[in-house]
Amino acid sequence: METSAKLLFALSLFGVAQALLLTAVLLTVNRGNRMANRFLAGFVAVLAIGVGGSMMASEPLIFLFPHLLKIQDSMQFLAAPLLFLYIRTLLKGSPPDKKDLLHFIPFVLALMFLVPFYFQSGETKFVSISSYSDFWRRWTYIRSTTLLIQVITYLSLIAVMLAAYSRRLKRQPSAADKSVRFQVRFMLAALSAIWILGALKYAITIALPVYDTQTADLLVPASLSLFVYAMAYIGLRRPEALTGAEDPPPPSRRYEKSTLTIERSETYLQKLLDLMANDKPYLNGELTLQKLAKTLAISPHHLSQMINEQLSQNFFDFINHYRIDEAKRMLADPARKHYSILAVSEEVGFNSKSAFNTAFKKHANMTPSEFRKSIAANGSGSASTE
């Protein structure tokens, strides 16, 4: 074996050990989102099998365990769906349902195709593989092409989920939310880079079959090993990034019979956020849930459910948050320093000074007067209005 191949083999070997250790930790840890932990454990275990299978295929080790030949070929189709379900659970908190079984159809089809081979004797398997017949050549091309398409499809879906999640975090994200976003961004970027490496290796193999060396075969497994090391490091530094928040409580019976789907809820949320940013309906002191729902052309029940589930707020807290942010900007504006607190409260949609003071203190941890004094003490442009 070439020196470079030996180094990649050693890196991959330690990667398998790290992946198995991380899998055990994720299955036994009691904190965080336990459903997300299980999906991530499955994903990491599949990586361990894939990397280990590639290593054994390039080494005489396979002669000791002939029945493990091609074991990774079917298991690899589990990686992308498990990653997708992990990130969806991490970002949305939505539990899996029966429809999610459809994600595993490629794995089932590959397994059914390979089952006859799996049940052959070790000697028969070696004879079949060593000849590298047209049968196995076609299978390799079909498997690799399908796997590349599957992975890039799921990475694209994850990118869409991450974009929607980032839009929801524009308004005062918590430290845990930021850590989770960092984790997903890292995984998306790293796996996209590994996908590009695998696609290039596949293209070169097709164009120049004689170029298929041990070193080239171990590039992707070694890259996946580095990815596992990085995940373990992130888990040590930022546990909340890897495991997420606690499992969400079961859905309220209030919405048990609701027809609002997750996809429609996210669409409604984007329409709502755009409306709040562009038209500022919260400045209307007569704004109600029913009026806002009519403007958005959705039912009040669905609007209330969407705000509760997507933003973990009720309607009044949601509206008041925008009003207080607007009030902060007005109180910090030198051109409005002559405005009284009552005038500011009326401008941003409150119908009484007492309600304004209560809401302001709840969202800003100080009264409007204290906020204005802090602005004056620090200079009109230096204090944050967020």
pLDDT at 386 over 50: no
Question: Which residues span the domain enclosing 350?
Answer: 253-378
Which amino acid makes up residue 265? Answer: S
Same domain membership, residue 197 and residue 279: no
Is 128 a domain residue? yes
Q: pLDDT at position 254, please?
A: 61
> Which has more confidence, 111 or 5?
111
Torsion of CA 136, 142, 144, 147, to 10 degrees: -140
Same domain membership, residue 179 and residue 37: yes
Same domain membership, residue 262 and residue 177: no
Is 166 a domain residue? yes
Contact of 345 with 327, CB cutoff 8 Å:
yes
Mean of per-residue pLDDT scores for the chain? 81
Q: Looking at the chain, how many residues does it have? A: 386
Domain count for the chain, please give it: 2
Is 325 a domain residue? yes
Same domain membership, residue 146 and residue 36: yes
CATH number of residue 19's parent domain = 1.20.1070.10
pLDDT tens for each residue of 30-85: 666 678 888 989 999 998 888 877 776 665 666 666 777 788 888 999 999 999 99
Contact of 311 with 318, CB cutoff 8 Å:
yes
How many C-beta neighbours within 10 Å does residue 57 have?
A: 18
pLDDT tens for each residue of 80-103: 999 999 998 888 766 788 889 999
| Rg of the chain taking only CA atoms, in angstroms | 27
Q: Distance between CA atoms of 309 and 251, rounded to whole angstroms?
A: 9
pTM of the model: 0.61
pLDDT at 316 over 60: yes
Same domain membership, residue 301 and residue 193: no
Same domain membership, residue 147 and residue 194: yes
CA dihedral over 148, 154, 156, 158, signed as positive or negative: negative
Is 33 a domain residue? yes
Q: pLDDT at position 105, please?
A: 95
How many C-beta neighbours within 10 Å does residue 364 have?
A: 18
Is 248 a domain residue? no
Q: pLDDT at position 382, please?
A: 41
Q: Is 382 exposed, middle or buried (0-12, 13-18, 19+ CB in 10 A)?
A: exposed
> Three-state DSSP class for 184?
helix
